[in-house]
Amino acid sequence: MEEALSGPPDSSSTLDESPPFVAVKDAKILLEWSEGSGGPLKDDDSLLNPGTHSCTLDEPSSLDLASEAGKSKSSGLCFSDGKCRIDYVLVYKKSSPQLEKREVFERNIRAEGLQMEKESSITNGDVIFVKLHAPWEVLCRYAEIMNIRMPFRRKFYYLHRRHRFMTRLEKKMSKFRGWLPRKLMKFDDTIPDLEENESFTAPFSRQRIHHFIIHNKDTFFSNATRTRIVHHILQRVKYEEGKNKIGLNRLLGNNSYEGAFPLHEGSYRSKNSIRTHGAENQRHLLYECWAWWGVWYKYQPLDLIRRYFGEKIGLYFAWLGWYTGMLFPAAIVGLMVFLYGVFTLEHCQVSKEVCQANDIIMCPLCDHYCPYMRLSDSCIYAKVTHLFDNGATVFFAVFMAVWATVFLEFWKRRRAVLAYDWDLVDWEEDEEDIRPQFEAKYSKKERMNPISGKPEPYQAFTDKYSRLIVSASGIFFMILVVIAAVFGIVIYRVVTVSTFAAFDWALIRNNSQVATTGTAVCINFCIIMLLNVLYEKVALLLTNLEQPRTESEWENSFTLKMFLFQFVNLNSSTFYIAFFLGRFTGRPGAYIRLINRWKLEECHPSGCLIDLFMQMGIIMVLKQTWNNFMELGYPLIVNWWTRRRLRREFGKKAMDAFPQWEKDYNLQPMNTYGLFEEYLEMILQFGFTTIFVAAFPLAPLLALLNNIIEIRLDAFKFVTQWRRPLPSQDKDIGIWYGILEGIGILSVISNAFVIAITSDFIPRLVYAYKYGPCAGQGRAGERCMMGYVNASLSIFQVSDFESKSQPRTNGSELFGEPVRYCRYRDYREDHNSEEPYSYTLQFWHVLAARLAFIIVFEHMVFTIKNLIAYLIPGLPKNLRDRMRREKYLIQEIMYEAELERLQKEKNEKKKNDRVHHNEWP
């Protein structure tokens, strides 16, 4: 069997960029290509290169690429002949038993036209690197099969009269711009203009190759596109005789190959300044303009990210940057709400009354060891509560609900612009291959695929839905595990509050409830992190049990399960504190107990909102800190240890001379689930930022600060610590958008309940308009809240205590006289009424107001959200017009080009006919 090994005479160029890397715009098209054949037919060591590890180049070609060639001379980015660029690298071990499969696979790779070269590892003699290169003919053939869009004509736009007027106005205003500060967020002249962004594109066609802009065949297809084409080929090459024994993924799964990755484009560091000497390569440029901590305040170079890592990763960073930018107004408003509480603290009538209530004795919060306490002892907690439970809280909750809608709607517009700029508007995912597990399970039963017309394995309806039922049962069981963990935390809080109340240290003893809440939150965080490990294994088990047909179905199913598990795990305790803590405890003398023994925990005299504030603050800070450490710290430590071991064995200079494939192999591979963990972390943070934001107005600010760090952490990790991931295309963020919409709806409901039930906003409002000094006057202010604290506390006779809950501490030792009555937070009659300790009329008024507020708040906010979603179109009008005009211009350009070609052929034919006629006498 002969191999069609072909390539350009000088394809040693390591860069495929437009200036400032290399000037290729005026280069001529090289039309003559050398061809080779007669390669080996068997996967033996005949392709093993024993030579150097650097690319030695021939004399500079007529394209004048000597400067580019000099940069790549010793970079290890091409074959040993210095001509063929490495587009993909496979790694296997000689000791691997899958020799026959590799032989067939590599023989079929060469039959597809890919060039191959093998190299032994410097650091491990058992490791072999298989370097692959796609010649020009192979790239053209598969670019046409894959419908890859390529630039064929520079863009030009029709300017409206208004636009021309604005242009003249801008020229007149240009002399004043020198006085204005420079745009610090943007890069000046570091980022090159990418030529393809300013060109019309069309699906590549070999028959119409003359229509496309080809300055240089080496750089016509970008490195990301070349890698995608090679990966496309590898996924469809057979490794055994059989209709379904194909694909690199299966060989990676059975350990035939240890790894498969494209190469980074050289080192990300340089001794020379990027401003004076330019960037050494795209990786160096990305590091200096994106992954370096010194540019944390700059906009992200999304076009360069997309060009180097592909559209899917580019969309993730575009979404992360958009989310971070949208957090700025939310963080500012949240900070203003918090500062409003700070500035109005001195005028708050409620906190004043609490701090001055030296004669009000509160009932014990726990059995036996909790003492009676003055209400004034909770003065600090009342002031802290006012910081985030004030008149601006309702406004902020409405604002955040609207903000979530605006964020999602404008992200759709932003995504549409990116899809247009990156030529993803008409992109459709190819028909996916069937997963090997699905094929092995259902290979005996087949049916015709209505799209491809080929027989394929078929899963019966009963089998499919029986598996879904079992999977749903597993999900329900794991949710019960979470509830059990929350129940354990509840028991811990109930038991520990008495323990802290009997503590020898006065600071702990006097703040037993706060200490209980703080320790419970820390224990809850540890449980959350431990259960996350279990959830990943359970989600894998349940997803594989469902037997999804394709990889995208598997990914969506796994994503939904993991999000559901992690969301419930992270927020279950928060929901308990927000809506159940202190709601079902009963009253003094008739407490509701667990197992008829432990009294349920009550809220602090200053309210339950402070517990929710502590829960959210501690969990959010700890989780974001832990995630950042694991994302960057783990690969950083592993790579440092690997470099330390190699430095000891080979020395620093030898390590610097390692070829690029050796350096990249020693880096960490990308996460097993791709961008799943990156998205999951941000989606969970989005939930924390919106769902309970009424109780924690500083959540957007904390999220903003974390995301500013997160962007650079992820950038540093992608550029320096990970192997280069496979560039892949995608036109949106997938299932995550639907999850974000669901969180937005849940946030409206949860914030309505937090304001109505958890906070004291509604009881204060009812008192101001109905029972306070301003009752019946139709106004409410701080003066109208006089007497609210006394009206919100009920009276209990100490002699009516149960024997189980009677405090052991003698009241006379605390206050100088026996305690006969104590107060507690509720609206109940006193012991002398006709129905002792029954609910008062004020309780029912407050309850009705709470229910009415929930209904009105939800309907109002949902109406505003739907109105905003209706008023904000998903596609900007100017973009829609540009797309329509571009479609029209493309048709006109293609038609004119075809007419020009036909006319040229016609003229040549006439000329040949005339010459042929003149030859005869």
Amino acid at position 114, single letter = L
Q: Which residue would you say has higher pLDDT here, 662 or 778?
A: 662
- Identify the pLDDT of residue 48: 57
- Identify the pLDDT of residue 135: 92
**SS3 label, residue 119:** strand
Provide the pLDDT confidence category of residue 453 given band limits of 50, 70 and 90.
low
Contacts of 887-895 spanning 24+ positions with Cβ under 8 A: 889/200, 890/200, 890/202, 893/152, 893/153, 893/200, 894/202, 894/208, 894/211
**Nearest Cα to Cα of residue 664 among 644, 639, 641, 637:** 639
Provide the pLDDT confidence category of residue 621 given band limits of 50, 70 and 90.
confident
Say how far apart CA 685 and CA 699 lie, in whole Å: 9
pLDDT value at 329 more than 80 = yes
Say how far apart CA 499 and CA 507 lie, in whole Å: 13
The 10s digit of each residue's pLDDT in 12-38 is 333 333 333 333 333 222 222 233 333
Q: Where are the domains of the chain?
A: 88-155+197-262, 299-762, 763-871, 882-920
Amino acid at position 198, single letter = E
- Identify the pLDDT of residue 888: 76
> How many CB atoms sit inside 10 A of residue 909's CB?
10
pLDDT value at 178 more than 70 = no
Report CA-CA distances (Å) from 788 to 359, 383, 609, 626, 767. 15, 15, 18, 43, 7
- When pLDDT is averaged across residues 479-487 and rounded to a whole number, the result is 84
Residue 171 exposed, middle or buried by CB count within 10 Å (0-12, 13-18, 19+)? exposed
Provide the pLDDT confidence category of residue 704 given band limits of 50, 70 and 90.
very high
The 10s digit of each residue's pLDDT in 859-880 is 998 999 889 888 888 788 888 8
pLDDT value at 569 more than 90 = no
pLDDT value at 171 more than 80 = no
Number of helices (H) and strands (E), helices first, in the chain? 31, 19
- When pLDDT is averaged across residues 263-269 and rounded to a whole number, the result is 87
The 10s digit of each residue's pLDDT in 83-131 is 888 999 999 988 888 888 888 899 999 999 999 999 888 888 889 999 9
- When pLDDT is averaged across residues 713-726 and rounded to a whole number, the result is 90
- When pLDDT is averaged across residues 829-834 and rounded to a whole number, the result is 85
Least confident of 78-82, 501-505, 645-649: 501-505
- Identify the pLDDT of residue 568: 86
pLDDT mean across residues, the chain? 78
The 10s digit of each residue's pLDDT in 199-244 is 777 788 888 787 788 888 888 888 888 999 999 899 888 888 766 6
Say how far apart CA 535 and CA 544 lie, in whole Å: 14
Say how far apart CA 610 and CA 613 lie, in whole Å: 5
Q: Which residue would you say has higher pLDDT here, 726 or 181?
A: 726
- Cα 885 to chain centroid distance, Å, stands at 34
- Identify the pLDDT of residue 246: 79
The 10s digit of each residue's pLDDT in 421-441 is 888 877 766 656 677 677 767
Q: Which residue would you say has higher pLDDT here, 733 or 909?
A: 733
Say how far apart CA 792 and CA 763 lie, in whole Å: 8
Calculate ∠ Cα 623-713-403, nearest 5°.
65
The 10s digit of each residue's pLDDT in 524-538 is 778 887 887 888 888
The Cβ-side half-sphere exposure at 175, using a 13 Å CA radius, reads 2
Amino acid at position 626, single letter = W
Provide the pLDDT confidence category of residue 63 given band limits of 50, 70 and 90.
very low
- Identify the pLDDT of residue 130: 92
- Identify the pLDDT of residue 65: 32
Amino acid at position 284, single letter = H
pLDDT value at 450 more than 90 = no
- Identify the pLDDT of residue 598: 72
pLDDT value at 325 more than 50 = yes
pLDDT value at 393 more than 80 = yes
pLDDT value at 352 more than 60 = yes
pLDDT value at 332 more than 60 = yes
Amino acid at position 857, single letter = F
- Identify the pLDDT of residue 381: 82
Indicate the helix (H) or strand (E) that contains 373: strand 373-374
- When pLDDT is averaged across residues 744-757 and rounded to a whole number, the result is 89
- Identify the pLDDT of residue 155: 59
Using a pLDDT cut of 70, give the percent of the chain over it.
Answer: 80
Sequence-distant (≥ 6) Cβ neighbours of residue 697 within 8 angstroms = 334, 335, 337, 338, 388, 393, 396
Q: Which residue would you say has higher pLDDT here, 243 or 569?
A: 569
This prediction's pTM: 0.81
Q: Any bridge partners for residue 154, and if so which?
A: 199
Say how far apart CA 623 and CA 525 lie, in whole Å: 8
pLDDT value at 39 more than 50 = no
Say how far apart CA 240 and CA 101 lie, in whole Å: 6
- Identify the pLDDT of residue 617: 80
Structure tokens belonging to residue 820: 């006969």
The 10s digit of each residue's pLDDT in 539-560 is 888 888 888 887 778 888 888 8
Least confident of 69-78, 250-259, 295-304, 609-618: 69-78
- Identify the pLDDT of residue 19: 34
pLDDT value at 181 more than 60 = no
**SS3 label, residue 269:** coil
- When pLDDT is averaged across residues 402-418 and rounded to a whole number, the result is 90
Q: Which residue would you say has higher pLDDT here, 912 or 343?
A: 343
pLDDT value at 79 more than 90 = no
- Identify the pLDDT of residue 64: 34
CB 766 within 8 Å of CB 846: yes
- Identify the pLDDT of residue 9: 36
